Amino acid sequence: MIKMEINRADFDKILRKLDEAPRDEAIRKSLYQSALHITGWIKTNRLSGPRPEFLGVVTGRLRSSITASPTIKTGNVYMSRVGTNVEYGPRHEYGIRIRPRPFMRPAIEDKENIEHVKQDLIDNLTKVLEA
């Protein structure tokens, strides 16, 4: 699993003003929307070529297998997973017996994606505050 972490201090000011239930719902919604965004980014920017730098489409199996799960909360941790169940995905991601052509890690390291996740969270929390 690959993790993207966001500094909670960036959001504490807003979070303190919200009741727990609407806050949790806004966070869950935001993280799932962000996971869907990252899923699309992976498919478009890393699994559609051009070869050999990026993976291209041969059968489309890997690209169509990239999915996002709805956000769950365990304790104080919210998590939405983005990944694949295709057995050769890790080989390409980490270069197991082949040259690595990562597609997951670049998605969570991309500065624009990180900003998108933060802004989506701020927008959804602000909507709850204004309601």
Q: What rounded mean pLDDT belongs to the chain?
A: 88
Task: Judge whether 52 lies within some domain.
Answer: yes
**CA–CA separation, 99 vs 107, rounded Å?**
19
In a domain? residue 40: yes
Evaluate whether residue 38 is within a structural domain: yes
- Tell me, yes or no, whether 13 lies in a domain: no
Q: Domain for residue 128, yes or no? A: no
Above 70 in pLDDT, residue 8? Answer: no
In-domain check, residue 108 = yes
Domain limits at 73?
19-115
Residue 75 lies in a domain: yes
Helices and strands, number each (H, E), in the chain? 6, 4
3-class SS of residue 60: coil
| pLDDT band at residue 7 under the 50/70/90 scheme | low
Q: Above pLDDT 90, what percent of the chain?
A: 59
At residue 35, the pLDDT reads 96
Amino acid at site 122: I
Q: What is the pLDDT of residues 56-89, one digit of tens each?
A: 889 999 999 999 999 999 988 899 999 999 999 9
For the chain, what is the domain count?
1
One-letter amino acid for residue 52 of the chain: P
Domain annotation covers residue 87: yes
